[in-house]
Amino acid sequence: MRNSTEHGGQSKMSNILVDTSVWIEGFRHAESEAQRTLTYLLQEERIVTAGVVIAELLQGEKSERRAVEIESLMLSLPVLPDEENTWTSAARISRSLRRSGIVVPLTDLLIAQLAIENDCLIYTLDSHFDRIPDLPRFTPTSR
């Protein structure tokens, strides 16, 4: 991975797996920090996505026209592959957390596991990810 710093001192060229929560915020609020950060990261070609993120975005879209636009945008990004090991590793994280009384949705565990496997930072607004220990996170800073 290429390295240099920006945006909060994090590695400039680290790929960033953007969670569904950020996309929704950015789509709904054109002047939000999420939208500004998404625009910046898209210009820098740092965003990667995952099938589960695409599915979550599309399942919630009521407008067919907007769903086509979202699908086109998402499929223009690199899509991280999920494999058998991805799913079993996500299940291991889930079991470990559940032993401590912590429940995280399977979709979030899968997104987290994909980020771990692919050395990506996670950009999310969802507090579920706070419950997953040692998860590499991207946090935007004011520019």
Angle value at C-alpha 110, between 63 and 115, nearest 5 degrees: 100
Nearest C-alpha neighbor of 2 from the set 15, 18, 16: 15
pTM of the predicted model as reported, rounded to 2 decimal places: 0.87
User: What pLDDT shows up at residue 141?
Assistant: 77
The per-residue pLDDT for range 57-91, each reduced to its tens digit, is 999 899 999 999 999 999 999 999 999 999 999 99
User: What's the rounded Cα separation, in Å, for the pair 10 and 140?
Assistant: 9
Q: Is 24 helix (H, G, I), strand (E, B) or coil?
A: helix
- The confidence score (pLDDT) of residue 37 equals 96
Structure tokens belonging to residue 65: 């026209």
pLDDT band at 102 (very low <50, low <70, confident <90, very high): very high
Helix (H/G/I), strand (E/B), else coil: 67: helix
- If 0-12 CB within 10 Å is exposed, 13-18 middle and 19+ buried, where does residue 93 land? buried
- What is the domain partition of the chain in residue ranges? 12-131
For residue 128, the tally of other CB atoms under 10 A from its CB is 18
Give the rounded distance of the alpha carbon of 23 from its chain centre: 9
Structure-token pair, residue 32: 């939000």
Whole-number Å distance between alpha carbons of 95 and 113? 13
1.20.1050.10, 3.20.20.100, 3.40.50.11540, 3.40.50.1010: CATH of 12-131: 3.40.50.1010
Percent of the chain past pLDDT 90, that is, above it, reads: 85
Output the CA angle 122-13-125, nearest 5 degrees: 20
The alpha carbon dihedral of 98, 102, 105, 111 has a sign of negative
